[in-house]
Each structure stands twice: as structure tokens, then as C-alpha cells.
């Protein structure tokens, strides 16, 4: 199929490769018409809107940083106001009943939850139906120590210590987190196009962030995806 995420005009990506990773993640999660989908990290809302339009699903998208008003207005203009529900809710405290969603996704946002990722994932699994898939696609790191020069740039940019070293984890680390949460990992991979997508993203960010991306040059930062499936029956 034509990738609808790459056909969007005026794409507002909050991170590298967001729209490029969307279709592979959605296919791996198995999203189909009629499903109820939870998206953790709504961003501009464009991914949720494209999902609703092209897959005929209902998307509950969480945007705790900016709230859901902008996303909801954009969904109305796109004609899917009734199938995109934007909420200013955090994944760590989901106010949904158990087994509410047919699929749970997060693109470019799960890593931002930081140390609370285990709690957030526990909630994401709780609200997924039995047999449903949970998937994340986002900035990650290769399973090697961060280069010392990159660490210095990172710490200079984030004086609170919450930069890329704090947030990024490897595909294997994320897969192990999924397994501890009770998911059977069905797909895990780094995207070979990560360097290209990072460099394209660097053209739209601050000078300090651009310097960090180019200094890395693919030595440590990457983009990855992990998908897990919730058991179909109680164990």
C-alpha cells in the first residue's frame, strides 16, 4: 500500500523517523479496520488522524504535555473528529478498564517516560485485550557504551542529566522490559535507515541538538522497534 504517513503535508514530527516508522509498527502490531487503538504520545496528532482515516479505527491518543485540544481540532478538520479522542493523560496512570484496546502503540514517545517505563508498560499491557499486541518505535541506542565525546555534549546540553543517555535504551533492553511485563516479543529490530532519518531530523532542530546528532554519526544513537503480544488466556 502507499504509505499514508509519508503523503501527509506539513508533517510535524516531534522526533526522528516518526512518520517513517509508523507503517512498519502498525503492520507489526496488526491494526485492522474496526479496532480500538491506544496511542501513547499523540504529538501533533497526525499519526492518530492518519490511522483513523486510512485504517478505519478509533484512536485514543494521549498527549500529557500539550493536552488534546490541538489534536482534536485537527481531527475535526480531517473529518475524523468522532474517531480520534485526544486526552491529556499519562501512560503511567491510565484511567481505562482492563482489556479495553485491540492494540497499543507508541511512536517516538515511550523513551520520554524515562525511569517510569516499567509502570507505564504495565498499564499499557493491562488495558490491552488478551491476544492484542503492544508496540513501540522510537529513538534508541546501540548496545554499546555512549562515546565519551557524545556524553560531554549531552551533559552540556542537559544540565539536569536527563538527555539522551538518560532516555535511550537498546532494542534488547526494551524487549527484556516487554518480557518482564508478560508480553511475548514477536518483533525486535533496529531500522537500518536510522542515520538518514536522524540527519533529516537535524535540519529542523536547534543548533545544539544538531551538533549532538552529527557528532554521533550513527556510533550510538539509532531508531528501533519492539512489538510484544499479550497472552490470549490467563496463566
Return the C-alpha cell found at 161: 542529566
pLDDT at 2 over 90: no
Q: CA–CA separation, 44 vs 71, rounded Å?
A: 6
What is the pLDDT at residue 212? 95
Contact 15, 110 (CB under 8 A): no
Least confident of 68-72, 74-78, 156-160: 156-160
Instruction: Locate all alpha helices (DSSP H) within 8-147, ordered by sequence.
Output: 18-29, 46-55, 69-77, 117-127
CATH class, 13-227 region: alpha beta
Tens digits of residue pLDDT in 186-226? 999 999 999 999 999 999 999 989 999 999 999 999 999 99
Helix axes 46-55, 18-29, angle to 10 degrees: 40
The confidence score (pLDDT) of residue 1 equals: 64
Query: What is the pTM assigned to this prediction?
Result: 0.95
Cα of 221 vs its chain's centroid, Å: 16
* Domain regions of the chain by residue span: 13-227
Amino acid at each position: 500500500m502507499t504509505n499514508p504517513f509519508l503523503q501527509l503535508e506539513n508533517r510535524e514530527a516531534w522526533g526522528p523517523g516518526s512518520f517513517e516508522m509508523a507503517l512498519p509498527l502498525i503492520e507489526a502490531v496488526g491494526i485492522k479496520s474496526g479496532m480500538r487503538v491506544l496511542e501513547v504520545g499523540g504529538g501533533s496528532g497526525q499519526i492518530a488522524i492518519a490511522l483513523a482515516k486510512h485504517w478505519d479505527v478509533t484512536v485514543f491518543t494521549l498527549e500529557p504535555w500539550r493536552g488534546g485540544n490541538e489534536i482534536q481540532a485537527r481531527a475535526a478538520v480531517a473529518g475524523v473528529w468522532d474517531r480520534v479522542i485526544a486526552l491529556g493523560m499519562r501512560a503511567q496512570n491510565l484511567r481505562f478498564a482492563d482489556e479495553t484496546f485491540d492494540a497499543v502503540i507508541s511512536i517516538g514517545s515511550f523513551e520520554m517516560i524515562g525511569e517510569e517505563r516499567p509502570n507505564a508498560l504495565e498499564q499499557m499491557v493491562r488495558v490491552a485485550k488478551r491476544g492484542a499486541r503492544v508496540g513501540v518505535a522510537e529513538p534508541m541506542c546501540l548496545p554499546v557504551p555512549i562515546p565519551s565525546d557524545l556524553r560531554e555534549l549531552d551533559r552540556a546540553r542537559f544540565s539536569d542529566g536527563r538527555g539522551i543517555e538518560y532516555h535511550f535504551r537498546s532494542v534488547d533492553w526494551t524487549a527484556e522490559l516487554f518480557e518482564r511485563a508478560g508480553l511475548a516479543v514477536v518483533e525486535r529490530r533496529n531500522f537500518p535507515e536510522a542515520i538518514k532519518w536522524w540527519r533529516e531530523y537535524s535540519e529542523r532542530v536547534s543548533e545544539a541538538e544538531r551538533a549532538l546528532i552529527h557528532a554521533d554519526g550513527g556510533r550510538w544513537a539509532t531508531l528501533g522497534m519492539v512489538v510484544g503480544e499479550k497472552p490470549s488466556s490467563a496463566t
